[in-house]
Amino acid sequence: MKNVRLILEYDGTDYHGFQRQPNGLTVQEVLENAVSRITGSSVIIAAAGRTDSGVHATGQVCSFHTDTNISAEGLINGINSLLPADISVRSLDFADSDFHARFSAKSRHYSYRILNRKAPSALLSRYTWHVKKHLDLDAMRKAAEFLLGTHDFASFANTPCVPDTVRDVKALSIHRAGDIVYIDIKANGFLRSMVRNITGHLAEIGLGKWDPEDTVRLLQAADRCAAGRCAPAQGLFFTHVDY
């Protein structure tokens, strides 16, 4: 059996997330169907991150086992030929037998994009959150410092949630490029909607609705109801995985 590793890019707008769901089309379903047609047998694909409905990816990592004799080049060309325009395999190779896209991961990277200007964008509406009022990035950065390190992030996790809500945020940066504000975050793992909830909180800091120091109180509360809004899905991108 070959252990296939691939890096996937997708526009999540029209999908109910990555993981198979009984109530809607998902990226996993479309990808597994394409791989099964190429290899001639059914496969179950593991992913590094189970992105939610509407979330995009530029560096999603997947893995699956197959007994096919098709080369790596043949696989990537064949799979891409069967995928819709909003899903693409960027690269594909054969990994060691013990590699697993999810369980071998050491940390994951996400990037959130906010369009911060008065007028909305006809071209960026699928890929950014439009915030009209000017964001104070210095205040947002001060708040972000309190989120670095190991904390209980229950206040920033949507239910239903796992029993262990402690995560280690290894990096969190905020910068502006033109009208776009980028919030880049790296952690050993993420709770459901954690990045979007953190983004919503930081945006409210940037709008002056909270003080940066309020972040400490919200973390200590360990209660989702204590924190601010959840940023919409369309601005979130799963960008990279460390192994």
Q: Identify whether residues 72 and 111 lie together within a single domain.
A: no
Q: Quote the pLDDT of residue 161.
A: 64
Q: Identify whether residues 21 and 133 lie together within a single domain.
A: no
Give a yes or no: residue 154 inside a domain: yes
pLDDT higher than threshold 80 for residue 160? no
Q: Identify whether residues 87 and 111 lie together within a single domain.
A: no
The residue-averaged pLDDT of 12-26 equals: 95
Give a yes or no: residue 101 inside a domain: no
Q: Identify whether residues 220 and 197 lie together within a single domain.
A: yes
* Number of separate domains in the chain: 2
Domain edge (last residue) among 95, 120, 148:
95
DSSP-based three-state secondary structure for 115: strand
Q: How far apart are CA 123 and CA 159, in angstroms?
A: 32
Domain edge (last residue) among 45, 70, 95:
95
pLDDT higher than threshold 70 for residue 240? yes
Could you write out the DSSP letters of every residue in 38-75? HHSS----EES--PPTT-EEEEEEEEEEE-----HHHH
**Residue 204 near residue 229, CB atoms below 8 Å:** yes
CA distances (Å), 63 to each of 4, 102, 140, 169, 180, in order? 5, 9, 36, 25, 33
Average pLDDT of the residues of the chain = 96
Q: Identify whether residues 122 and 219 lie together within a single domain.
A: yes
The residue-averaged pLDDT of 4-13 equals: 98
Q: What is the CATH number of the domain that holds 237?
A: 3.30.70.660
pLDDT higher than threshold 70 for residue 242? yes
pLDDT higher than threshold 90 for residue 225? no
Q: Identify whether residues 34 and 55 lie together within a single domain.
A: yes
The residue-averaged pLDDT of 65-77 equals: 97
Report the candidate in 139, 133, 134 with the shortest Cα–Cα distance to residue 205.
139
Q: Is 52 a catalytic residue?
A: yes
Own/partner pairs, 122-127, CB within 8 angstroms, 24+ separation:
125/234, 126/11, 126/13, 126/234, 127/56, 127/234, 127/235, 127/237
Q: Identify whether residues 67 and 124 lie together within a single domain.
A: no
Give a yes or no: residue 210 inside a domain: yes
Give a yes or no: residue 57 inside a domain: yes
The residue annotated as part of the active site, out of 11, 14, 52, 184, is 52
Domain that holds residue 129: 107-242
Q: What is the CATH number of the domain that holds 6?
A: 3.30.70.580
Q: What pTM was estimated for this model as a whole?
A: 0.94
